């Protein structure tokens, strides 16, 4: 078998195939099942302040002939307690030390809040952080997610805050919901980001019939 070992932003992984931060990475059992199936790494579902996810929050998009060609969602970050997630991340890394676990983070735009969650998360043995500056719904109305990623100055500022205390590589996840993604990307690099992640959810509308509207 070919050796697919990779090194990205200083993070070693058995292969370059990682699960993105999403519902399939919302708990330890799901991530462990992915590792058993051969995935090299996973970005844990975004951790942050307590939220409530509505239901239903997924909807299928079809083109009239195919049943489903895409999904739209209004899911927020994880709705599971922070301490539970941190415990499961620790246990997952202990069980799968060679697989990559990246912790996605999103909290309010306060230095103390970012410092606190970074310090807690890096004690789990995780391999790196992903700063979620891209969530376009629910969180941006609270000054988080895309609200940070759409303003280069905020992107740079928060990245700097994280780098002040992080002992792990920092990946900044950018939002596509901008007219030009280059300035936020440059701001993240200026703030000290070790890598960039493209992209988070694209804003969209479902249930609209263009022929009858």
CB contact at 8 A, 126 and 103: yes
Residue 204 lies in a domain: no
pTM of this structure = 0.87
Residue 135 is a catalytic residue: yes
Q: Indicate the number of domains in the chain.
A: 1
The residue among 96 and 58 whose pLDDT is bigger is 96
Residue 100 lies in a domain: yes
Residue 123 lies in a domain: yes
What is the mean predicted confidence (pLDDT) over 136-157?
74
Name the residue range of residue 89's domain. 13-50+79-197
User: Rounded distance, CA 211 to CA 199, Å?
Assistant: 30
Confidence grade of residue 148 (pLDDT, cut at 50, 70, 90): confident
Q: 192-206 burial by CB neighbour count: b if 16+ within 10 A, else e?
A: bbbbbbeebbeeeee
Backbone CA torsion sign across 81, 82, 83, 87:
positive
Q: What are the distances in angstroms from CA 107 to CA 49, 133, 144, 187, 206?
A: 6, 10, 7, 19, 28
Residue 146 lies in a domain: yes
Residue 137 lies in a domain: yes
113 contact partners, CB below 8 Å, separation of at least 6: 107
What pLDDT sits at residue 134? 80
Residue 3 lies in a domain: no
User: Rounded distance, CA 157 to CA 150, Å?
Assistant: 13
Half-sphere exposure of 25 (CA within 13 A, CB side): 22
Q: Which CATH number does the domain housing residue 31 bear?
A: 3.20.20.70
> From the candidates 135, 158, 162, 178, which is the catalytic residue?
135
Residue 133 lies in a domain: yes
What is the mean predicted confidence (pLDDT) over 51-75?
65
Residue 33 lies in a domain: yes
The residue among 201 and 78 whose pLDDT is bigger is 78
The residue among 53 and 194 whose pLDDT is bigger is 194
What pLDDT sits at residue 91? 99
Q: Which two tokens stand for residue 161?
A: 């805050």
């Amino acid at each position: 078998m070919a050796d697919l070992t990779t090194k990205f932003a200083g993070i070693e992984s058995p292969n370059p195939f990682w699960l993105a931060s999403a519902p399939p990475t919302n708990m330890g059992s799901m991530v462990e099942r992915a590792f058993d199936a051969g995935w090299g790494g996973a970005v844990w579902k975004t951790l942050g302040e307590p939220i409530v996810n509505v239901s239903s929050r997924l909807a299928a998009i079809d083109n009239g002939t195919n049943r489903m060609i895409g999904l739209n969602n209004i899911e927020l970050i994880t709705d599971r307690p922070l301490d539970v997630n941190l415990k499961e991340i620790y246990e997952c890394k202990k069980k799968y030390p060679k697989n990559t676990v990246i912790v996605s983070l999103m909290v309010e735009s306060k230095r103390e809040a970012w410092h606190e969650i970074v310090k807690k998360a890096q004690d789990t043995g995780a391999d790196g952080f992903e700063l979620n500056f891209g969530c376009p719904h629910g969180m941006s109305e609270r000054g988080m997610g895309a609200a940070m990623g759409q303003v280069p100055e905020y992107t740079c500022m928060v990245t700097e805050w994280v780098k002040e205390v992080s002992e792990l590589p920092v990946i900044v996840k950018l939002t596509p919901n901008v007219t030009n993604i280059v300035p936020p990307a440059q701001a993240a690099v200026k703030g000290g980001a070790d890598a960039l992640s493209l992209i988070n959810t694209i804003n969209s509308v479902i249930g609209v019939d263009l022929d009858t509207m």
